[in-house]
Structure 1
Amino acid sequence: MNEEKTQFNLKVAVQRLGTALSGMVMPNIGGFIAWGIITALFIEAGYLPNKNFAELVGPMLNYLLPLLIAYTGGKNIYGDGRGGVVGAIAAMGVIVGTDIPMFIGAMAMGPLAGWLMKKFDNAVQPKIKAGFEMLVNNFSAGILGFALALFGYTLIGPTVQGLTKIMEKGVQVIIDAHLLPLANVFIEPAKILFLNNAINHGILTPIGANQVAETGKSILFLLEANPGPGLGLLLAFCFFGKGSAKATAPGAVIIHFLGGIHEIYFPYVMMKPALFIAVIAGGVTGTFTNSILGSALTSAASPGSIIAIEAMAPKGLWPHLNVLIGVLAAAIVSFLVAAIILKNDKSMVDDTALENAQADLAASKAVAKGQAPVNSELAISGDIKHIIFACDAGMGSSAMGASILRDKVKKAGLSIDVTNRAIANLIDAADTLVVTQEELAPRAAQMAPSSIRVAVSNFLNSPKYEEIIASLTGGSASDQAGKSVTKTETEIDLKLVTQVVFGHDATAVGSATMGKETLQAIFKNHDVKMPITDVEFPELTAYNAPNIVVVTIVANTAIAKEHAPNAQHLSVDSLITTSEYDKMLERSGK
């Protein structure tokens, strides 16, 4: 038991460290991308060589980016802005005192400065005489920044420079020995434990940026960001999966490969742990291919979309093709291994395999951690005014989960705001409900101990959402599920339908497109040949006929009926992960 607790605490500690590192870099990824574009365009070997514009490359790398990181690190620790200012001042010491880009030094000095400033203010500010607040605050920040700048210049900077050069030489030795692909043996499983941002932006990005300063590119930017392993896995589910896992995989492919949200494929791996082998094999293959071809990027690609990755490839046709080949190689191997596993898997035989696996995983983990009894409905008490979806970065999967629950909250007639943010930026409040992934539940408990917390396996498709709505409305999960079903006012018979149309407003083009892709995949699997399109609500007037089905989320069904009153209407909670598509086929004997 003690050993299990020690391992658990170690995992939480690693997640916290990783989140802290990535939390300094991720908000400033735009700066890295801007620097990467300037480098790719205007240096002597760039697409548009320009001596004057190229002068931006060095100062941005040596000063702007480290200062942004240090400011963010200090502000994350002491969020009133003083921590960020003192962190930036302190970072100047390590920047000026060394001759290499000081990203790691900035990561050290920023949080240290923020922590010291916070401790000083907590001890001194209550004792300041009225009228002297500004004087003390300004001088305390200036004096502390001055002292830390000297400390960084004389001690931290040289120390970090020595360690950085040792790490860079070690990485180069590994690359020269063609052993870099072995890193993916650890990277791929770590991603599933939600350490993806920590690995990519907390470790690989700083070292990769230093390599870019010397060689103009770095393969390290491709280690974690390569979408190939996840792409191959999801494609295997498209062809060899079963039930809802197969139906939702096409939409997940789009989100993952084009949108760059890698978290989308994590639940597919967790539902069948043998699939870890597939993503590891794909990752190793991708990095090996990139090593052989010399593939690399000029800056960090975030999110890990094929679009962002190709945009950061060096000048020339072959560098772009080599990067694409590395992605495809990883996808092919991951697909083949996953296909073998899925074809020989006898456990995923019903249509709710993915949902059951997610629910079972959530329940078993909750019991093991003493968080909730098995099969018990959530008991959300108190006056909940805010719901926050929290993930490692506060983007991507948490934003999509917030969107899904926001629709359910609106449908239930609740006036509760639903937002998303990074777990490191959670606000502790008794009137707040925090929804996070199972792996990050311990972090959420530390960051928001007074808040009500719910852990789910998958932001995009969790049975906990119905329980949340039921608790907030005073009903039961089964009652809520029943209400969701009755929202489909017409039982669609596909024998009387010639076309399906997804209706949406101008802000929901993406979800409608993914819903269309999901239904197309389901129709294809059941040999249903029927055109499917998506249009904005005003255009539905052209589809106002009883032989046409208009699909909308519950909140928008009334709008769709105004534009197409004679059409059949399918009202769903989610355009991507609804079970109504399968029910529609069942009623038609497909």
Structure 2
Amino acid sequence: MVQSKNSSSLKVKVQKFGTALSGMIMPNIGAIIAWGLTAAIFMTPNGWFPNAQINKLVQPMLIYLLPLLIGYTGGRMIHEDRGAVIGAIATLGVIVGTKQPMFLGAMIMGPLSGWLLKKLDDAFQDRIISGFEMIYNNFSLGILGMILAIFAYFVINPIMMWGSYWASVGVDAIIRVHLLPLANIIIEPAKVLFLNNAIGNGILVPLGIQQASEVGKSVLFLMESNPGPGLGILLAFMLFGKGSSKSSAPGAAIIEFFGGVHEIYFPYVLMKPALIIAAICGGITGTALFTMFNGGLKAAASPGSILAILLVSAKGSYLGNIIGVAGAAVVSFIIAAIILKRDKGEGDLAAKQKEMESMKAESKGQQMPSEQTAQDSVKSYADIKKVIFACDAGMGSSAMGASLLRDKFKKAGIDISVTNTAVRNLKDEQGLLVVTQAELADRALQKTPNAMHVSVGNFLNSPKYDTIVANLKALTQVSDRPKEAKKEKTAGSIEGIDFNKIKEIDFIRHDQHVGSATMARSLFEDGLKKAGKSEPVKALKINELSDDDARLVIVTPAAKKNLVVRYSDIQVVVVDDLLQDNKLQEIINKLN
């Protein structure tokens, strides 16, 4: 147990460090792409359309703009606006006097400057005499910024120039002896552990930019962003998977390959850990083919989509890049297919996504929560005013998850804000519901201890969204007193049903009575035909209903308890026996 806790703590620390690195790069990916496209299209003499005037933008963007943005962002992460300004000032000290792009120097001076200013403010800001706050704020930042810029120029700059030189030499040496593909032995498992942004944007992108500035392109941009390994694994699940993993794989493959959201295939690998071999072999193959066929990108491909890769591919590298992605997909597919065909177990994707046990049991028709448990669950959502999805980078998967829940809220008539952000940017506040990946739950809890937290395995496929919607929807029922009072009087009795509105009759499958509901549907349908009536009749799970008064739901008392906390508009008739209650014939007679 102690070892497990230590391992978990180490993992959280590694993730925090990686997030700090990637957190300075991710917000500026757009600027990096702008530089890369400008260089690819207009740089003389190797651009697609060389232009001497526009080419004058390339070097200043690389040497000044990008490092300053990174330093600014790094300072802001530590001490908001004041940290951002001093981070940019100190970063300038690293930049001046060199023609190398000082990304690593900016990643040091940005957060370091923000941290030092924060410590200074903590020590003196509360002691400032009233009326002198502006003088302190401006001069403390200015004086410390000057000192740090000078320090960066004379100390950090030479160290970074030396380090950048040897890092470049090391990367070139590894490429020359064809050992670069072996780096995927580390990269692919780290990606599955949600360190993909840390490795890609924290390490490979800064090194790749430096290499691209020297030779016009870099294969380092492709090593983490290559969608091939994930695509191959998902294609194998499409053909050889079982159950929910097979049915969900086609949609996941489209999102992974064209949307560039690699996190979507991680749960599939975690479900069957042997598949990490397929990912590693696919990654090694892809990198080997990139180097063999002269592939490379002018700038970072973010997200890791085939579309983004093609947009920032260097001139003359399109074929190599396509071959590398395709080769990685083929190799990972073959190995994943062999593993899946030899594996006799179906696997439980939902379990690996750490979905709510009660929801999983309900979806299997095994057990439903008690009325008191359902009511307690509803009460826990009473103060929720805002929902935030938080992932490592604050982009991609969390944005898609937020969009899914926002759409569910709209359909359910729930007026609550749903946004997304990076875990590092979470702010603790009342009335907040934080939805995050299980891997990042500890960090989210540390950032927002007073918020309500829901962790999911996959932002794009979680039944917990239905739980959130059901609980918030139930609150509108509780707050609507006249409506609730009316339903208390009529729910369950035929007298309270408006048969003029009924367009569909539903039987609820629950507990162990799946067969009973199906048989009841068949018998009721036969009764309708004998009476010359044709309303559609269905047997559904409770979470498959839509809240609509055109539905007449026929249930047993056990299922009715859960209906009243989930739905407010459907019409309900309670029967003691789904097969031979006298109310069933009465309903048939009253239907139009």
Q: Shorter-chain TM-score: which interval?
A: 0.7 to 0.9
Give 1:491 deviation, angstroms. 8.8
In 1: Cα distance, 2:33 partner to 2:503 partner? 48
In 1: Cα distance, 2:426 partner to 2:230 partner? 29
Give 1:296 deviation, angstroms. 0.9
Q: Name the counterpart of 2:366.
A: none
Q: Which amino acid aligns with 2:77?
A: N
In 2: Cα distance, 1:55 partner to 1:173 partner? 31
In 2: Cα distance, 1:255 partner to 1:409 partner? 23
In 2: Cα distance, 1:180 partner to 1:556 partner? 54
Give 1:433 deviation, angstroms. 1.3
User: 8 Å contact 2:94–2:152 — kept in the other structure?
Assistant: yes
Q: Which amino acid aligns with 1:422?
A: A
User: 8 Å contact 1:362–1:456 — kept in the other structure?
Assistant: no
Report the CA distance shift for 1:491/1:361 in structure 2 as closer, same or farther (over 3 A).
Answer: closer
In 2: Cα distance, 1:7 partner to 1:489 partner? 57
Q: Name the counterpart of 1:218.
A: 218
1:420-499 counterparts in 2 under 5 A?
Answer: 420-472=420-472
In 2: Cα distance, 1:489 partner to 1:395 partner? 42
1:327 paired to 2:325: yes
1:530-577: per-residue Cα shift (whole Å, max 9, x none)?
xxxxxxxxxxxxxxxx9xxxxxx999999xxxxxxxxxxxxxx9xxxx
User: 8 Å contact 1:313–1:320 — kept in the other structure?
Assistant: yes
Report the CA distance shift for 1:140/1:347 in structure 2 as closer, same or farther (over 3 A).
Answer: same
Q: Which amino acid aligns with 2:46?
A: A
Q: Name the counterpart of 2:233.
A: 233
Report the CA distance shift for 1:407/1:50 in structure 2 as closer, same or farther (over 3 A).
Answer: closer
SS in 1 for 2:224: coil
Give 1:278 deviation, angstroms. 1.1
1:358 paired to 2:353: yes
Give 1:114 deviation, angstroms. 1.2
Report the CA distance shift for 1:124/1:190 in structure 2 as closer, same or farther (over 3 A).
Answer: same
In 2: Cα distance, 1:59 partner to 1:176 partner? 30
SS in 2 for 1:294: coil
Q: Which amino acid aligns with 1:168?
A: S
Give 1:360 deviation, angstroms. 6.8
Larger radius of gyration between Structure 1 and Structure 2: 2
Give 1:411 deviation, angstroms. 4.3
Aligned residues: 472
SS in 2 for 1:245: helix
1:5 paired to 2:19: no
Q: Name the counterpart of 1:246.
A: 246
Report the CA distance shift for 1:4/1:556 in structure 2 as closer, same or farther (over 3 A).
Answer: closer
User: 8 Å contact 1:228–1:327 — kept in the other structure?
Assistant: yes
Q: Which amino acid aligns with 1:84?
A: A
After the TM superposition, which of the residue ranges 292-301 and 95-104 deviates more from structure 2?
95-104
In 1: Cα distance, 2:418 partner to 2:546 partner? 18
SS in 2 for 1:296: coil
Give 1:131 deviation, angstroms. 2.6
C-alpha RMSD over aligned residues: 2.8
1:114-166: per-residue Cα shift (whole Å, max 9, x none)?
11222222332222223322222111111111010001011111112222222
Q: Name the counterpart of 1:156.
A: 156
SS in 2 for 1:52: helix
Report the CA distance shift for 1:244/1:323 in structure 2 as closer, same or farther (over 3 A).
Answer: same
In 1: Cα distance, 2:52 partner to 2:466 partner? 60
In 2: Cα distance, 1:555 partner to 1:96 partner? 64
Q: Name the counterpart of 1:283.
A: 283
1:270 paired to 2:270: yes
SS in 2 for 1:134: helix
Give 1:222 deviation, angstroms. 0.7
In 2: Cα distance, 1:434 partner to 1:423 partner? 10
Gaps of 5+ in 2: 359-369, 476-501, 507-535, 537-542, 549-565, 567-592
Q: Name the counterpart of 2:38.
A: 38
In 2: Cα distance, 1:402 partner to 1:56 partner? 37
Q: Which amino acid aligns with 1:162?
A: W
Give 1:418 deviation, angstroms. 1.6
Give 1:361 deviation, angstroms. 9.9
Give 1:381 deviation, angstroms. 5.6
Q: Which amino acid aligns with 2:332?
A: S
1:495-515: per-residue Cα shift (whole Å, max 9, x none)?
xxxxxxxxxxxxxxxxxxxxx
1:220-257: per-residue Cα shift (whole Å, max 9, x none)?
00100111001111111121222222222221122111
Q: Name the counterpart of 2:517.
A: none
User: 8 Å contact 1:405–1:465 — kept in the other structure?
Assistant: yes
Give 1:184 deviation, angstroms. 0.7
User: 8 Å contact 2:352–2:457 — kept in the other structure?
Assistant: no
TM-score normalised by length of structure 2: 0.75
Give 1:170 deviation, angstroms. 1.7
User: 8 Å contact 2:391–2:398 — kept in the other structure?
Assistant: yes
After the TM superposition, which of the residue ranges 417-426 and 326-335 deviates more from structure 2?
417-426
1:169-184 counterparts in 2 under 5 A?
Answer: 169-184=169-184
SS in 1 for 2:225: coil
1:41-440 counterparts in 2 under 5 A?
Answer: 41-43=41-43, 44-79=45-80, 81-316=81-316, 319-348=317-346, 353-359=348-354, 380=380, 383-440=383-440
User: 8 Å contact 2:355–2:463 — kept in the other structure?
Assistant: no
In 1: Cα distance, 2:245 partner to 2:321 partner? 29
Give 1:202 deviation, angstroms. 0.7
Q: Which amino acid aligns with 1:418?
A: V
SS in 2 for 1:454: strand
In 2: Cα distance, 1:51 partner to 1:26 partner? 30
In 1: Cα distance, 2:126 partner to 2:411 partner? 48
Gaps of 5+ in 1: 364-374, 476-487, 493-545, 547-552, 559-572, 574-590
